[in-house]
Amino acid sequence: MRHIEIYDTTLRDGAQSEGINYSVSDKLKIIKKLDNLGVHYIEAGWPGANPVDNEVFNQIDYDSLKNAQITAFGCTRKPNTNEADDNVLKMLVNSKAKIITIFGKSWDFQVTEALNTTLEENLNMIEGSISYLIKNNKEVFFDCEHFFDGYKANPEYAIAVAKAAHQAGAKRIILCDTNGGCINNEVYKITKSVVSEIPSALIGIHAHNDSDLAIANSIASIDAGASQVQGCINGYGERCGNTNICSIIPNLQLKKDFNVIGENISKLSDTARQIAEISNKSLQSSMPYVGRSAFAHKAGVHASGVRKNSQTYEHIDPSVVGNMRRFLVSDQAGSASIKERLNSLKFIQNVSDEDVKKIIEEIKKLEWKGFAFEGADASFEILVMKVLNKQPNFFNILGFRVIGDTITLSEVNRKTISEASVKIEIENEIIHTVSEGDGPVNALDRALRKAIVEKYPEVLQFKLDDFKVRILDSKDATAAQVRVTIESSDGIRKWDTVGVSENVIEASYMAIVDSIFYGLMLQGAKSIEFSMPSCKTV
């Protein structure tokens, strides 16, 4: 079985994504997660480029790494200078990384226009820089920048660049589609030519995704004889990103039967999500293999088929990559979808076929009003409990009021304060509380928690992690129905709830109440016996 190396550049190329700014701590955490995943090389940054990268190379615990080797990134010396006097090469030599990846120009246009030097001097820069690093006890990988564009413009010179790097002692020759504009048949043919011209070289591929072909181009290069793929977790990278490590690994290992990361592939989904969290990015739900929707089934026909045999609508078993199958709840769902979803509920078991019909009818009524239970699992379970008359009651909502007041602090500085009051009933006791907050939703949340905390101290553990508002029909302008979705947690578990109303505050309150109810259910709080009327705004 042919072995394929995975070279991760999330911490360098991925850090160039718009909206990503890694701290030293972030990079050290990501290194641990990538090593645990089983990638072979981790490019930790560019020594000397910024204080963060300098500190990262100093703090890496090199001896603790189980699978990966750390590489440092840089470039060849400047034209017409001595290697020993070049600051970039000095910083690379002084870094603790044993492997250095440097890039050099392989497109004659780039040499003459960007470097303003001769083609011969560019070859001297490549050979001299690689030799200098090797003399200083470094192993060298060479990135042939703009290789495919360079080959199309001047194949003889592009090959000469790759040969110069190989002859100087570079252990890997990486062919880069730097502008991301090539298509896979071009990449295959050009890689095949390089492998034929330099049969003793180990070839790699570094593809950008500007044409949405980075993964296809990487596979094409591997098919042509390359043995290393460079890319980023979740496809991060400058402009449109780089080859997505989370897709290329399973494509190569599961579909092409290459030896990539072995059993560690089951850690792929968790790694993708954890690094997305560290990167302060939402993991795209539709991302292949690792996304939340990658194995989600909404149509009743699909759900029915998957229940009988998962191969009917799934290309792999989701557990292989650490993901899970989900059956979405919507007005398009048939009984098969609902039954699968019911099987995963925490508080309801053994639902009859007659009750399934009632649940489907209730879902259709509510979704016609604007509710969406696909991303609100907790609200769905509460809905099921209501239909089955099994919902626990913790407090009775009598009403709430929200007001806003603007305070003038100075001529140019004004502050708006929201105040909320709620009236609830617990065990025949009427409780009326008032609280201020940063906005009406925060004030309502605080007022409700304040009202019930003495009876249910568990609410102190609940945290509102995310809050989304969607206008359902913009043509109604400010009178439009709005859907509010809330993500909550207790520090260990997460759950999602939903509310819908023409009044955004009322919709928010619905979602908040469901959130607190479900959180109390998770905590095993004792319910109270009384019916729960719908709340009224006061």
CATH number, domain with residue 480: 3.30.160.270
Q: pLDDT at position 196, please?
A: 97
108 & 235 share domain = yes
Cα angle 342-359-535, degrees, rounded to a multiple of 5:
110
465 & 515 share domain = yes
DSSP 3-state of 204: strand
pLDDT band of residue 295 (cuts 50, 70, 90) is confident
The 8-class DSSP code of residue 525 comes to: P
273 & 303 share domain = no
Q: How many domains does the chain have?
A: 3
Point out the domain boundary residue: 278, 308, 330. Answer: 278
Percent of the chain exceeding pLDDT 70 equals 89
- The Cα–Cα gap between 104 and 146 comes to 9
| Residue 496 belongs to a domain | yes
What would the pLDDT profile of 306-321 be if each residue is shown by its tens digit? 666 767 778 999 989 9
CA 372 to chain CA mean position, Å? 23
- The Cα–Cα gap between 247 and 316 comes to 13
Point out the domain boundary residue: 212, 247, 278. Answer: 278
Predicted structure pTM score: 0.69
168 & 274 share domain = yes
For 157, the domain range is 5-278
130 & 259 share domain = yes
For 95-154, where are the alpha helices, taking DSSP H only?
108-113, 119-135, 147-153
In the predicted model, is pLDDT for residue 146 greater than 90?
Answer: yes
| Residue 534 belongs to a domain | no
304 & 439 share domain = no
- The Cα–Cα gap between 15 and 27 comes to 10
Handedness of CA 283, 65, 50, 79 (dihedral sign): negative
In the predicted model, is pLDDT for residue 252 greater than 80?
Answer: yes
- The Cα–Cα gap between 103 and 145 comes to 6
- The Cα–Cα gap between 154 and 149 comes to 9
| Residue 529 belongs to a domain | no
463 & 508 share domain = yes
Percent of the chain exceeding pLDDT 90 equals 57
300 & 263 share domain = no
226 & 308 share domain = no
What would the pLDDT profile of 187-240 be if each residue is shown by its tens digit? 999 999 999 999 999 999 999 999 999 999 999 999 999 999 999 999 999 999
Per-residue pLDDT, averaged over 91-112, amounts to: 96
Q: Which tops the pLDDT comparison, 119 or 351?
A: 119
| Residue 343 belongs to a domain | yes
- Average pLDDT score, the chain: 88
Q: pLDDT at position 485, please?
A: 85
pLDDT band of residue 534 (cuts 50, 70, 90) is very low
Instruction: Flag the least confident range among 101-115, 355-369, 463-477.
Output: 463-477
302 & 270 share domain = no
| Residue 285 belongs to a domain | no
| Residue 380 belongs to a domain | no
pLDDT band of residue 406 (cuts 50, 70, 90) is low
In the predicted model, is pLDDT for residue 480 greater than 80?
Answer: no
**Burial status of residue 153 (CB atoms within 10 A of its CB: 0-12, 13-18, 19 or more):** middle
| Residue 215 belongs to a domain | yes
Most confident of 144-153, 434-443, 449-458, 511-520: 144-153
140 & 260 share domain = yes
Handedness of CA 221, 283, 281, 249 (dihedral sign): negative
- Can you tell me which residue has the tokens 């409990």? 385
In the predicted model, is pLDDT for residue 365 greater than 50?
Answer: yes
Point out the domain boundary residue: 248, 278, 308. Answer: 278
77 & 37 share domain = yes
pLDDT band of residue 329 (cuts 50, 70, 90) is low
| Residue 381 belongs to a domain | no
